[in-house]
Structure 1
Amino acid sequence: MSDFINERKKRIQEFKARFFSKGKNKPIDIPDGLFVKCDECGTALYEKELEQKLSVCPNCGHHFRIGARKRITITVDPNSFCEMDSDLSSLNPLEMPDYEVKLESAKKLTHQSDAFVCGKATIQGYPCFIGVLDSYFMMGSMGSVVGEKVTRLIEAATEARTPLIIFSASGGARMQEGILSLMQMAKTAGALYYLNEAGVLFISILTNPTTGGVAASFASLGDINIAEKSSTIGFAGARVIKQTIKQDLPPHFQTAQFQLEHGQVDLVLSRHEIKATLAKLLLFHGGEHV
């Protein structure tokens, strides 16, 4: 038995000397951020390849969240985007503790003044006004600046009689601004009333997540409501709803597909389909190619 043990030790030492000797077979140093794990299927994805696929998992089709700037880049024609109201920034009207710190942190992370980026652009040659909520800026929450920028964008589209497109990604109203935040729901909805009276097309795209006050206002008021795949769409969270109505909820009841089946949205599209679909809709509704 001792001979067997000694023989095993000898082989282990030979293995170590061969594969772990100095200068040989050093551990591979993999830089941080080189691979990304899919939240849905757990697959490790090469980050550059994932970006080429518009941040959609090639294994299961899960749509990763993307920022407002990237969304605009993959949606509009190159060099066609002209930004509006980029200098507007939130204050702290209620003097909430640490609110300024959170705003500064979000600004540094996104390189934006607030959670909404908007302007005029073309999509395959068709002009439109476009706005995008950025979930990386305080979860795309709607404060007074976001509501003001959305309203100004709607008014610009109404005056120019040019189609309006808004991508929503939000956790809802920004609680640090209290009633001033909640007022933006009525404000944006009122502006959309005049857009509708002017006969101007409004396409709303609901991405992951679209919830709270944004879902309860302008995000759900499109002439055409489109949901991006993998999106969570609803007003309150599942736990809050269950506690309120005292009933079990249907499985996946806040998914994009569930919303389509129950008439809350008109289309569910993958990220790869959205740009071409928007161009077709602009054409069908009398868009003039420039």
Structure 2
Amino acid sequence: MSWITEYVRPKIRGLLRRDVPDNLWTNCESCGQMILTKELRRAMNVCPHCGHHMKALVPDRLAWTFDNGECTRIELPPAPVDPLGFRDQKKYTDRLKDARAKSHLDESLIVAHGTIGGYPAVVGVMAIEFMTGTMGAAFGERFVAAARLAVLQKSPLVVFTASGGARMQEGVISLMQMPRTTIGVQMLKEAGLPYIVVLTNPTTGGVTASFAMLGDVQIAEPNALIGFAGPRVIEDTVREKLPEGFQRSEYLLDHGMLDMVVDRKNMRETLARVIGLLMRAPAKPEGEKATQSVAESGAAQTSPAA
């Protein structure tokens, strides 16, 4: 081998090689196009090529929803960590520890309050990044706490749904959260306060079968999967080809199950308009009620491990 192969070529390669961060580019889940991650974040995780609305993390959702991205997270009640002592490939308690370490959240529902378009509001965001947003005993406690806070503040409750349904590790206790969350919705109705649901991709299982379909106003993001069982399960059961777009936002809107489908960039403006119409109250200057930024509240206001 010549000195060119052994010395010159490696030197040239070293000069040309550049360290590229792993998260510099993101592939669109729908069209497959590569997007600069910075551009994608500026576009609120919406693909600039096809308009596909990608999943949103809790801090982003709060920042996009509240005025100036400012809100206060509330400390939420704890719940039994492992009521059934469940174990499959690993212990349920270990799964919870892993989920908390990866997501930097302690459960699948985060609740905060602030202003939307100048109107005070309580917002609950389901965390798809925490065990796919599944619903367990802690979730039910938190949902009722959010409803109580809304009643106390005489504010509307806005809930962003994103979930794979009930949490199998809690068995029938998870299913009991369906009527429990329904009680929370009833508390709002008895107080005469608006309950607004924003369904995002995906919203399935027991979440769809309970509080996600009980809103006074039902809003969804474009092309979100919304249903109880998945389309493949339904096809295998009825042995028929499902209509195109079945269980997607636009299909449900056409069939009367939603009130509107709204792009993410227009969501805060739409929520403010809906809250203003339902509350019949003048809006305050944006951000007046908010007391803490999302970044600060994420570090200081999360509830203890539930």
TM-score (norm. length: structure 2): 0.84
CA distance in 1, matches of 2:81, 2:145: 18
Percent identical among aligned pairs is 39
The corresponding residue for 2:73 is: 83
Find the partner of 1:49 among 39, 48, 63: 39
- Aligned counterparts, 1:58-77, within 5 A: 58-77=48-67
Q: 1:159 & 1:234 partners in 2: Cα distance?
A: 32
Residue 85 (structure 1) shift: 2.7
RMSD over equivalenced CA pairs, Å: 2.1
Unaligned runs of 5+ in 1: 1-15
| Per-residue deviation, 1:88 | 3.0
Deviation at 1:151, TM superposition (A): 1.2
Match of 2:112 among 115, 119, 122: 119
Question: 1:136, 1:257 → 2: CA distance?
Answer: 25
Partner deviation per Cα, 1:200-237 (whole Å, 9 max, x = no partner): 11110000100001111111110000011131100011
Distance 1:200 1:148 in 2: 20
Q: Specify which of 279, 283, 292 is matched with residue 289 of structure 1.
A: 283
Q: 1:176 & 1:267 partners in 2: Cα distance?
A: 35
SS of the equivalent of 2:11 reads coil
Cα distance in structure 2, aligned partners of 1:277 and 1:79: 16
Relative to the length of structure 1, the TM-score reads 0.89
Question: What does residue range 30-41 of structure 1 map to in structure 2 within 5 Å?
Answer: 30-41=20-31
For residue 239 of structure 2, what is the amino acid of its counterpart? Answer: K
Q: Is residue 133 of structure 1 aligned with residue 126 of structure 2?
A: yes
- Matches of 2:55 and 2:125 in 1, distance apart? 13
Separation in 1, partners of 2:52, 2:120 = 30
Contact (CA 8 Å) 1:192, 1:218: kept in 2 or not?
A: yes
Aligned length: 276
Q: Which sits farther off after the overlay, 154-163 or 115-124? A: 154-163
Q: Equivalent of 2:213, from 210, 220, 225?
A: 220
Residue matched to 1:191: 184
For 2:82, the equivalent position in structure 1 comes to 92
Alpha-carbon distance between aligned partners in 1 of 2:40 and 2:272, rounded to the nearest angstrom: 25
SS of structure 2 residue aligned to 1:85: coil
d(CA) in 2 for partners of 1:163, 1:126: 9
Alignment correspondent of 2:168: 175
Secondary structure of the structure 2 residue equivalent to 1:78: helix
Change in 2 beyond 3 A, CA 1:106/1:236: same
Deviation string, structure 1 residues 256-276 (Cα, Å, up to 9, x no partner) = 111111111111111101011
Q: Which runs of 5+ in 2 are unaligned?
A: 285-306
Amino acid at match of 2:177: Q
Q: Which runs of 4+ in 1 moved over 6 A?
A: none
Distance 1:149 1:155 in 2: 10
